[in-house]
Amino acid sequence: MFIAAAATACSGTVSNPFFGEYQTPHGVPPFDKITAAHYLPAFEEGIKRQAAEVSSIAASGQAPNFVNTIEALELSGDMLRRVRYVFFNLLEAETSPEMDAIAEQVTPLLSKHRDDMLLNEQLFARIAAVYAQRDSLGLSLEQKKLLDNTYKDFVRGGAGLSPENKEKLRQVNEQLSTLLLRFGQNLLSETNSFRLVIDEANDLSGLPQSLVDVAAATAEAEGCAGKWVFTLKNPSIMPFLQYADAHPLREKMLNAYANRANNGNDKDNNGVVSRIVSLRVQKANLLGYETYADYVLEDCMAKTPQNVYAMLSQLWAPALRKAEQEQRALEELAGRSAAPAPLTASGWRYYAQKLRQQSYSLDDEQLRPYFTLENVRNGIFTLVEKLYGVTFTQVTDVPVYHEDVVCFGANDSNGDFLGLIYMDFFPRNGKRGGAWMTDFREQRYHNGKRVPPVISLVCNFSPATGDAPALLTPDEVETFFHEFGHALHSLFSSCQYRSLAGTNVPRDFVEMLSQIMENWAFRPELLNLYARHYATNELIPADLVDKITASARFGQGFKTVEYLAASWLDMDYHIVKDTVAVDVQQFEQNAMRKIRLMPAILPRYRTTYFNHIFSSSAYEAGYYSYIWSEVLDADAFDQFLKTGNVFDRGVATALRRCILERGGTEDAMTLYKRFRGAEPSINPLLERRGLN
C-alpha cells in the first residue's frame, strides 16, 4: 500500500523504468528506456521505500525472529537495488559529466541512508535478540550465515556506539564516500586528457603495424589526420612501452602514466588520498580497532595485518632475487644495444620483449593473429563446456547500454538456464581503465524458484583495425579468462539469499575462482581447440605452442615484484595509526625504500592512481588478495594436473559443488578444504612462478 501511494506522489514516475519490475526479456534493465533524468528521482524514491520497510521491521509489535527481522531486512530495498546496480555500473562503464554530477548528489544520500539503517537502535535491538538465540532456532547453514553476517555488519557499522560517536561516524562515512568518488573522477579525467601526438614516421620505429593503425585511427577521429595519437589506456601505452625504439618517447609516456593525478592541478589526488587515509584511521578508532587494516582484515581469510605481511615477506625475497637476475640480463642486452645504463623503468618492458624474442624466438605480435576476440571467447566457452557441460548462446532480443555490448545466455548441461552475461570489451572515454565483472542482478531464490543472475564483464581490449579483427595480446587473453572466472562464480551460484550469492565472499578468497581460469588460457590442450589464425584459419603451430610453454616463467620476477610492491604500499597506508595528514609522495618513497624496491621497477599502482584502494571500498587493505588467492588457485589447479587431464570433469564438478555454487554461505577455508581435502600448499605457486 505504501509503495503504490509513494509512486503516484512522485512526479515523473509513470515513465521512470525503475519504479516497477522491468518488463523486458529475462527481466534485464531496459537500457533503451533509461535516461539520466530517471536516476535521481529513482534514488530518492528507492531510499524512501527502503527506509519505510526498515522502520516497519524495527517497529514491529511481533517478537523478533529470523523471518520477520533478518530475512525481512535482506529482502528490503528492491527498488533502490535496481537503480544502484544500473547507475553505478554505468558510472564505471559509460559515464558522462551528467552522470558524474548525479553521483556527487546521490553518494552522500546513500551514505546517510546506510548509516540510518546500521545506526538504528530499535532495529539493532531486534537483530541482537535473534542473534542471542541463534543456537536454538534450528536454522540452516545458510540462515545461520545470513544472521551472523547481519549482526556483524551492524556491529562493524557502529550500532554499538554512543550517540556522540555515531554522529562522528556518520560524518566520517559521508566524507569518505565523496572523496572516493572524487579520486576515481580525477583519475579518469587525467587518463583521458593525455595524448602523445607523433607526426614523424621515424618516431614509430619498432612499433607493430597493428598499434600504428590504431594510433592513426585515433588521430583521425580526433581531427589529426595524417598523424598518430597514443593514449594512457592499456591497449595503447603497454605495447608502446614494449616496442617503441624511441627512448625519449617511452620515457614521456611512462612519466605521464606514472604521474596521473599527481600534477598539482585541480585533478591532483595527493590531498584526496591524505584525507582518505586520515578518515579511515578515525573510522577504525571509532569502531574500536587500532588500524583500518585491523578493521578490514577481521572479515577476511588473512584475519590480521601481521598475517598479510608474513605472506608478503615469504614471497618478497625470492621474487626480488629473481627480478635482480632479470635486471642483470636486461642490462647486458641493453649494453650491447648502446642504450642508457643503468636500466630505467621505461626500458624494462622494451628490453624484456627483446630478450624474450632472443631467448625463445617469441614475441606477442607473433601470437596475436591467433587470438582474435572471437577465438578467445569461443575458447573460453569450449573450456566451460568441457569442464561443466555449460553452453552459451548469443541473445539479441535484450537492450544493451552501448552498441559495443553483446549478451550471451548460459544453459546448464541439463538445459536449465543459469543466467545472462553482458560483455563490453573496448576502451572509450566514458569507461574507466582495467577489467572487471559486476552484477546487474544477483542470484537468489524467490518463492522456491531460482532467480538467475544478470552479470556484466567489462574490459579494455585492443580494438579492430582496418581489415583485421580485434586481436588480443597474451595479457588480454589472460584477463579475459580471469574475468570469466568471476562470471562463472556468479552464474553457478545456487544460494537462497542474494547477499551470500556468487562473489559475495571474502576478498582474499574471491580471486581464486577467477585466477584458476587463467591456468587453462595457454595450455596446449586448449590452445589446440581455439587458437586459429584470423586470416588463414590455420591452427596455431606446435612449435609456437612449445615456445609459449617454454617461456611461461619468463619475467615472473618483474611481475611478482611490481605486484607485491603495490600490496605493500596498500598495507602500509592502512596500518597508519595517526590521523595527521600524510605527505603522500614521501610516504610512498619511504614504503618502497623499506622493501628495497629496485629503481627500474615501479609498483604496479602508484598512490595517486591506485583505484583498487582509493576509489572504492573494494580492496583497501586487501590488494594482497590476488596473491593470497593465487596460493589457493595454484593448489586447486594442481588437483587437475594430478589426474593427467586438465579437463577432468570429476575435479571440475567437485570445484563447482563445493565452492562455485556456495557463494559466501560458509567459511571460505571450510569450502576450500571440502574441495581439496586439506589446506592449500604454497609450493604449487612457487613452482608456477619459478620462485622456488
pLDDT in tens, 489-537: 999 999 999 999 999 999 999 999 999 999 999 999 999 999 999 999 9
| Residue 482 within a domain | yes
In the block, cell 571500498 appears at: 617
Say if residue 39 is in the same domain as residue 76: yes
Say if residue 300 is in the same domain as residue 398: no
Q: What is the pLDDT of residue 2?
A: 22
- Given 203, 229, 258, which residue is the final one in a domain? 258
- Given 105, 140, 160, which residue is the final one in a domain? 160
Q: Is residue 458 within 8 Å of residue 437, measured between CB atoms?
A: yes
Span 96-119, average pLDDT: 96
- Say what the pTM is: 0.94
Q: Which of 31-35, 38-42, 337-341, 424-428 has the lowest mean pLDDT?
A: 337-341
| Residue 16 within a domain | yes
| Residue 120 within a domain | yes
Say if residue 156 is in the same domain as residue 291: no
Res. 340: pLDDT tops 60:
no
Burial of 231 (0-12, 13-18, 19+ CB in 10 A): buried
Distance, in Å, from the CA atom of 71 to the CA atom of 504, rounded to the nearest integer, reads: 17
Q: What is the pLDDT of residue 14?
A: 63
pLDDT in tens, 116-126: 999 999 999 99
| Residue 166 within a domain | no
Q: Is residue 512 within 8 Å of residue 632, measured between CB atoms?
A: yes
Say if residue 498 is in the same domain as residue 573: no
Say if residue 236 is in the same domain as residue 153: no
| Residue 110 within a domain | yes
Q: Is residue 595 within 8 Å of residue 565, measured between CB atoms?
A: yes
| Residue 534 within a domain | yes
Domain CATH code at residue 599: 1.10.1370.10
Q: What is the pLDDT of residue 335?
A: 86
Say if residue 668 is in the same domain as residue 596: no
Residues annotated as catalytic are 483
Distance, in Å, from the CA atom of 247 to the CA atom of 58, rounded to the nearest integer, reads: 65
Say if residue 640 is in the same domain as residue 562: no
pLDDT in tens, 78-92: 999 999 999 999 999
Res. 104: pLDDT tops 90:
yes
Say if residue 539 is in the same domain as residue 587: no
pLDDT in tens, 243-272: 999 999 999 999 999 999 999 999 999 999
Span 436-444, average pLDDT: 97
Res. 395: pLDDT tops 80:
yes
| Residue 154 within a domain | yes
Burial of 2 (0-12, 13-18, 19+ CB in 10 A): exposed
Q: What is the pLDDT of residue 4?
A: 28
Q: Which amino acid is at 224?
A: C
Say if residue 48 is in the same domain as residue 101: yes
Distance, in Å, from the CA atom of 619 to the CA atom of 296, rounded to the nearest integer, reads: 9
Closest CA relative to residue 539, chosen from 547, 531, 549:
531
Tally Cβ neighbours within 10 Å of residue 672.
Answer: 21
Distance, in Å, from the CA atom of 418 to the CA atom of 390, rounded to the nearest integer, reads: 9
pLDDT in tens, 62-76: 999 999 999 999 999
Say if residue 560 is in the same domain as residue 637: no
Q: What is the pLDDT of residue 570?
A: 98
- State how far Cα 365 lies from the chain centre: 27
Span 537-563, average pLDDT: 96
Closest CA relative to residue 341, chosen from 600, 562, 592:
600
Its domain, for residue 239, covers 194-258
Res. 7: pLDDT tops 60:
no
Res. 3: pLDDT tops 90:
no
- Given 160, 179, 202, which residue is the final one in a domain? 160
Confidence of residue 342 (pLDDT cuts 50, 70, 90): confident
Res. 616: pLDDT tops 90:
no
Q: What DSSP element (H or E) covers 445?
A: strand 444-446
Say if residue 341 is in the same domain as residue 400: no
Res. 11: pLDDT tops 60:
no
Say if residue 409 is in the same domain as residue 543: yes
| Residue 165 within a domain | no
Percent over 70 (pLDDT), the chain: 97
Res. 617: pLDDT tops 90:
no
pLDDT in tens, 446-458: 999 999 999 999 9
Confidence of residue 1 (pLDDT cuts 50, 70, 90): very low
Domain CATH code at residue 134: 1.10.1370.40
How many structural domains compose the chain? 4
In the block, cell 580471486 appears at: 511
